Structure 1
Amino acid sequence: MAAPRKDPKPLHRRSTLAGEASRAVSELEAALATPERADSAAFFDVDNTIMQGASIFHLAWGLYQRKFFTTREIAGAVWKQTYFRLVGVEDPEHIAEARNSALAFIAGHTVAELRAVGQEIFEERMADRIWPGTKALAQMHRDQGQRVWLVTAAPQEIADVIAARLGLTGAMGTQVESVDGVYTGRLVGDLLHGPEKAVAVAALAEAEGLDLSQCSAYSDSYNDLPMLSMVGDACAINPDHRLRAHARAQGWRIRDYRTGRKAARAGLLTGAVGGAVAGAVTAGIALRGRRH
């Protein structure tokens, strides 16, 4: 009797992962041979760069499980956010409202409470979603003696948790106003998104004496092009199609830790649906904030 034929898919997957691991090791070995520079650092986006999926979605889901808000409070917002994303209408009034309510779901809660809950949610929903390849790249910079910063639209307190758990220098996240240790739900400045990331990196570079031409930046999104373009070493991680094309044209490094076409399609679908749901969740919680 002939031996049963082995399914080549698991072997292909193992081969792909082994290749990515080998590449990460090679990059690490090369980095260890590079002299340390006190004026250089690395900046990493979080969502789909360091972590699979949107950190704000994982946070909102964890808070929902802890009864921070109810499904009834977000039901009406689901359709509005989904319609907005599918149709792509970007009127200034809608954008302003989204900005002002984006993190209203933590209004009335204390800073200490969010930090504590954030630790729990990281273990429950985020730790297993860290991309090993990107984590290795961040560690490569740390082994070079460089500072490594996360730059994300997630609340500062959650960004701090992720950075600490990964052993990084620190994080720059969206600032939410608090009075006497209690969140008001209003933002301090803008969401740390797109061009705002470049502004934050430039300010940090000036304060820390960094030479941006000697710095590195990593992201999955074309929206982060301002941050990627301001450093001497840019790398596209799990890039969307526009960033991939731009990175190829510029000769930037590209690293894709997703496996196969199926995973890539799943990533696109997850990003679209997850973004809509996360937007619906935050908008729905904003209703709760306005009622209290």
Structure 2
Amino acid sequence: MTTSPNATAATTGSQAPQSIRLALFDLDHTLIPLDSDYAWGEFTVAQGWRDAATFSLANDRFYAAYKAGTLDIHEYVHFATAAVREQGMLAANEAHERFMQEVIRPAMREKALAVVKAHQAAGDQVVIVTATNAFVTRPIATAFGVDELIAIDLETDAAGTPTGLIRGVPSFREGKVARVEQWLAARGLNWASVAHSTFYSDSINDLPLLEKVHEPVATNPDDRLKAIALERGWRILNLFE
């Protein structure tokens, strides 16, 4: 059960990290059967914010690179945030509310919600750890009832508009491990403080974090991750069948 990292040890009076149980979830194609960043991009095209043909070619190229494990995350974030930078945050926030209602909520599956709720009911600390930026994913995490989100943080200007750059370590590939470690450290914890950790992911890109936790779960896995899961005896979970 989650406890305060600053709780005072009763017998010594000293500050001591407490043990927690972590349930970590990737988001895209893990908890939802789509890529939220890709879908948001297509949604902005439907709003007339981007040229459809030019955008789709680039978006498809980046998505193929992601699936192949060769994505340049900095290049992609600059591309993916262009519409928000041009339209401004007021228009972007209003569009995102429609995106949630028209695209995300209809895609949410009860089976995925149930897995999250089961961990919460068990007292585990649930965290969504995604390579999609926080602007796109914060409302999705909220819709799943998850307060803790580790996502790509966007650098913003004085008006709060993204600049197209990433702030800090991107939560992508090995960066997911680093960002979870930062999240733990901010609470006075480390991996040794974690009594048990589970990570659910569909993607070969998440292999570094899958290898770090106590219980990796290949969730709706891509072909390469499925092969590794079968070889290593990892649990395979399908939430969208």
Superposed counterparts of 1:182-193, under 5 Å: 182-189=161-168, 191-193=170-172
Q: Which amino acid aligns with 2:27?
A: V
Give yes or no for contact 1:160–1:170 (8 Å, CA) kept in 2.
no
Larger RCO: Structure 1 or Structure 2 (Cα < 8 Å, ≥ 6 residues apart)?
1
Q: Residue 117 of structure 1: which of 72, 80, 95 is its match?
A: 95
The residue number in structure 2 matching 1:67 is 48
Unaligned runs of 5+ in 1: 1-35, 260-292
Per-residue CA deviation, residues 63-118 of structure 1 (Å, 9 max, x unaligned), is: 22222222254376478x28x75xx796x9x7764454343332234445433422
Give yes or no for contact 1:44–1:150 (8 Å, CA) kept in 2.
yes
Q: Which amino acid aligns with 2:140?
A: I
Q: Structure 1 residue 207: deviation in Å?
A: 1.9
Identity across aligned pairs (percent)?
A: 24
Q: Which amino acid aligns with 1:42?
A: A
SS at 2:102 equivalent: helix
The residue number in structure 1 matching 2:26 is 45
Per-residue CA deviation, residues 149-173 of structure 1 (Å, 9 max, x unaligned), is: 1111222022110111111122121
Superposed counterparts of 1:130-141, under 5 Å: 130-141=108-119
Is the alpha carbon distance of 1:241 and 1:184 closer, same or farther for their aligned partners in structure 2, counting shifts above 3 Å? same
Q: Which amino acid aligns with 1:201?
A: V
The residue number in structure 2 matching 1:203 is 182
Superposed counterparts of 1:19-58, under 5 Å: 36-38=1-3, 39-58=20-39
Q: Which amino acid aligns with 1:241?
A: D
More strand by share: 2
Is the alpha carbon distance of 1:168 and 1:99 closer, same or farther for their aligned partners in structure 2, counting shifts above 3 Å? closer
RMSD over aligned CA atoms reads 2.9
The residue number in structure 1 matching 2:8 is none
Is the alpha carbon distance of 1:185 and 1:99 closer, same or farther for their aligned partners in structure 2, counting shifts above 3 Å? closer
**Count of aligned pairs between the two proteins:** 219
Unaligned runs of 5+ in 2: 4-19
CA distance in structure 2 between the partners assigned to 1:155 and 1:175 by the alignment: 6
More helix by share: 1
Deviation larger for 105-114 or 172-181: 105-114
Q: Structure 1 residue 177: deviation in Å?
A: 1.8
SS at 2:176 equivalent: helix
CA distance in structure 1 between the partners assigned to 2:109 and 2:180 by the alignment: 23
Q: Residue 218 of structure 1: which of 186, 200, 216 is its match?
A: 200
The residue number in structure 1 matching 2:131 is 153
